[in-house]
Structure 1
Amino acid sequence: MFDGLKDKLSSFREDVEESTASDEPAPEGDESEAESNSTESGEVADASADAAATAASTESEAADGDDAESADSDGNEPSTFQRAKAFATGRIIIEEEDLEDPLWDLEMALLESDVEMSVAERILDTVRETMLGESRKQVETTGELVEAALHDALLDVIAVGQFDFEERIAEGEKPVTIVFTGVNGVGKTTTIAKLSEWLADRGYSSVLANGDTYRAGANEQIGEHADRLGRELISHDQGGDPAAVIYDGIEYAQANDIDVVLGDTAGRLHTSDDLMAQLEKIDRVVDPDMTLFVDEAVAGQDAVNRAKEFDAAAEIDGAVLTKADADSSGGAAISIAYVTGKPILFLGTGQGYDDIARFDPEALVDSLLGNE
């Protein structure tokens, strides 16, 4: 999953390592070889100290002659002494010029992976702020510093708004009502069936309510899922009021001690004013505890744009991305939470009822960085 983006993030790490390799000062002669082969030897410490002392002496002499030449004109770039001192203590200084080309390549890689522009910019800014200047802690390699910066930058945008979904179900007043929205053909009805099974595995009962009264055959489709799972289905004839169907589902759940109502809605384009108005009515009449937006991970930038539009029509509480197992770019998974301020809660990973998983931002970041 997201193999394409993994490769591009790995390339960024290699690019930064390469761009900073020539900047690291090295002791002369035999001491250089000793340093590369034995970080614990006294010779390394002496050589590093000598390098720092030499640089300090050089800079001091320069300062005596011309203070203006001993410091950078803008006060931000590290001096020769600072670089040598950092190297002598095992620390790394990253300069703007070291990051310029790698960051450009990273930006192109993110955009090519369907990461939304503002999200890509946020990632780049976080990486730049984390890495410029002396590292905040001692590290063994530049690669580790890059990986730490990427980890923080990715988690910053991916983990937006996360909450414990099961805890909200457990603590919510029963029945908890969840309405699902999204465009046609993204797997919304199947996602409802999967979530019903996910809830059952954790001891929660559910009833399905078919608020998709617009599409011919919708009752039959969700009805097949209800039969296979042994769930009750609440439905009206085609053309009925979707809000009334879901409201009936809530009344059924109250009368039968059902924990959760899962309400389907008609697939709609975010440009369809009538259907979006219908969604607003459902939100107003039913007042669901949660509204979840469903789209395909492979839709990339389109999914991000649709999430924003649906959130504007009837505020969503989170998103479910289907076909995550087929997504090599990862753009939607990285972008949706940041642009909407609402978390991705589940990933659909196959066709079976058990093929749904809670979205784990930390695990995704580890996977993207090759640490799974």
Structure 2
Amino acid sequence: MKVPRFGSEIRERVIGKVRNAIYSILSKGVYGKDIIELVEKGPKPYVVVFLGVNGVGKTTTIAKIAYRLKTKGLKSVVVAADTFRAGAQEQLAIHAKRLGLPFIKGKYGADPAAVAKDGVIYATKHLLDAVLIDTAGRMHTDVDLMNELRKVVRVVKPHLKILVLDALTGNDAIEQAKWFDKAVGVDAVILTKLDADAKGGSALSIILTLSKPIIYVGVGQKYEDLRPYDPAEILNKLFE
């Protein structure tokens, strides 16, 4: 960050005030609870629906959440309610197999809400802790698909609706978030590819524009590469 060439003391004071102001904004994006705590203390099964457009890393993010739960001894079922995109179910099935988790899917073209409901029924029957539901990536401008998403939410009544956004998409991510929030109500955001976002400006934009908390950030492709949102980390990126 560049500031005018004042004396070094004034310069440092200016930078300090700016840093404090930005940190105050970034701190508003802290969700305050880890998914572990939500699942442990919430209703059983705890139902989470993941939203987002294609290409943001939603399926991989779900696998990371499932891994995070498993490492704490919490049992979940992974549900592929994306019944349209070729390969979507197969990709999620591979992750479920690697993690040793039950996997629910429907036939291609099946009603996504019915598939999601099957996942909740399975989790209830088998006394699982959580249901992680992958929905079809959709452009926010597609009215029919957004109505379908509303139906999924209406049928399964999730305890948490997480919007997955790509940190590299800039203003597009903001517009996507606005539409998804308007359609079904977004509870929290997971910001992927933060490791490739050199300055971290996307997090600041999301908090300023949407007033939505960021529960996690993705920083790689491994299951371990999911970290709780840390405003100090973003602040340091902005001032590098």
TM-score bracket for this pair, using the shorter chain length: over 0.9
- Going by fraction, where is strand more abundant, 1 or 2? 2
Counterpart code for 1:175? P
Kindly indicate whether the alpha-carbon contact (under 8 Å) linking 1:209 and 1:235 is maintained by their aligned counterparts in 2. yes
| Aligned equivalents of 1:349, 1:363: Cα separation in 2 | 12
1:168 equivalent in alignment to 2:38: yes
Which residue of the other structure, out of 149, 153, 156, is the alignment partner of 2:21?
Answer: 153
Give me the whole-angstrom Cα distance separating, in 2, the residues matched to 1:142 and 1:168.
45
Question: In structure 2, how many angstroms separate the alpha carbons of the residues matched to 1:159 and 1:245?
Answer: 37
**Following TM superposition, by how much is the alpha carbon of 1:343 offset from its aligned partner in structure 2, in angstroms?**
0.8
Q: CA deviation at 1:367?
A: 4.4
Which of 274, 284, 287 in structure 1 is aligned with 2:144?
274
Q: Partners in 1 of 2:126 and 2:10 — Cα distance?
A: 61
SS at match of 1:223: helix
Tell me which residue corresponds to 1:217: 87
- 2:110 corresponds, among 237, 240, 245, to 240
**Of 170, 176, 180, which residue of structure 2 is paired with 1:306?**
176
Highest CA radius of gyration, 1 or 2?
Answer: 1
| 1:197 maps to 2:67 | yes
Name 2:49's counterpart in structure 1: 179
1:109-167 deviations in whole A, cap 9, x for unaligned? xxxxxxxxxxxxxxxxxxxxxxxxxxxxxxx9324422332222212332325221233
Q: What is the deviation of 1:229?
A: 1.0
Q: Contact between 1:253 and 1:261, CA under 8 Å: does it hold in 2? A: yes
What is the RMSD computed on CA atoms of the aligned residues? Answer: 1.7
Residue in structure 1 matched with residue 155 of structure 2 by the alignment: 285
Q: Is the 8 A contact 1:295 1:320 kept in 2?
A: yes
Counterpart Cα distance in 1 of 2:24 and 2:179: 23
Tell me how far apart the structure 2 counterparts of residues 155 and 363 of structure 1 sit (CA, whole Å): 10
Do the aligned residues in 1 keep the contact of 2:199 with 2:238 (CA within 8 Å)? Answer: no
CA contact (8 A) 2:200 2:237 kept: no
Structure 2 equivalent of residue 107 of structure 1: none
1:21-170 alignment runs, 5 A limit: 21=7, 141-161=9-29, 162-165=31-34, 166-170=36-40
Kindly, what percent of the aligned residue pairs are identical? Answer: 43
The DSSP-based 3-state class of the residue aligned with 2:168 is helix
Does the 8 A contact of 1:206 with 1:259 survive in 2? Answer: yes
Kept in 2: contact 1:155–1:361 (CA 8 A):
yes
* Rounded Cα–Cα distance in structure 2 between residues aligned with 1:185 and 1:366: 27
- From 207, 217, 228, the equivalent of 2:77 is 207
CA distance in 1, matches of 2:141, 2:126: 38
Aligned AA (1:208): V
Cα drift, residue 198 of structure 1: 1.3
Alignment partner, residue 340 of structure 1: 210
Measure how far apart 1:291 and its partner are: 0.6
Equivalent position SS for 1:291: strand
1:365 and 2:230 correspond: no
Number of residues of Structure 1 aligned to a counterpart in Structure 2: 238
Deviations 1:244-291 (A, max 9, x none): 111111111111121111000000001100111111111111110111
| 1:159/1:337 contact within 8 Å kept | no
CA shift digits 1:337-358 (9 cap, x unpaired): 2322211111111111111111
**Relative contact order, higher structure (CA 8 A, sep 6+):** 2
Q: TM-score, normalised by structure 2?
A: 0.93
Deviates more, 1:355-364 or 1:160-169: 160-169
SS at match of 1:141: helix
Counterpart of 1:288 in structure 2: which amino acid?
P
